């Protein structure tokens, strides 16, 4: 599964970085946001614009979002 790690990325650069990744990746994929609520919010908004779905990887890792084409 392809991964985009946003650790160390400024919030102002997240939009472009996520869109570039999502435009060329095969789903499912994962995006590591860390625990920043703002970073997660930006990623979730973009995923909704693509009409895709995302969820947290598991209950122990809130900082990784799995992106899918359809809801589970």
* Domain presence at residue 3: no
* Domain presence at residue 4: no
- The pLDDT value recorded for residue 8 is 95
Q: 5 pairs with which residues across the strands? A: 32
- The pLDDT value recorded for residue 59 is 82
Q: What average pLDDT does range 32-58 have in this prediction?
A: 96
Number of structural domains (the chain) is: 1
Task: Name the strand (E) or helix (H) holding 18.
Answer: helix 11-24
Range of the domain at 29: 13-33+41-68
Contact yes or no for 67/53 (Cβ under 8 A): yes
Name the pLDDT band for 36 (thresholds 50, 70, 90): very high
72 pLDDT above the threshold of 80:
no
* Domain presence at residue 25: yes
pTM of the model: 0.93
* Domain presence at residue 5: no
Helix, strand, or coil here: 4? strand
51-57 contact pairs (CB < 8 A, 24+): 52/22, 52/27, 57/30
């Amino acid at each position: 599964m392809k991964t985009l790690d946003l650790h160390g990325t400024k919030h102002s650069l997240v939009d472009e970085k996520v869109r570039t990744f999502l435009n060329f990746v095969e789903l499912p994929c994962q995006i590591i946001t860390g625990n920043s609520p703002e970073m997660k919010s930006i990623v979730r908004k973009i995923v909704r614009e693509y009409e895709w779905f995302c969820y947290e990887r598991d209950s122990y890792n809130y900082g990784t979002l799995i992106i899918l084409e359809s809801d589970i």
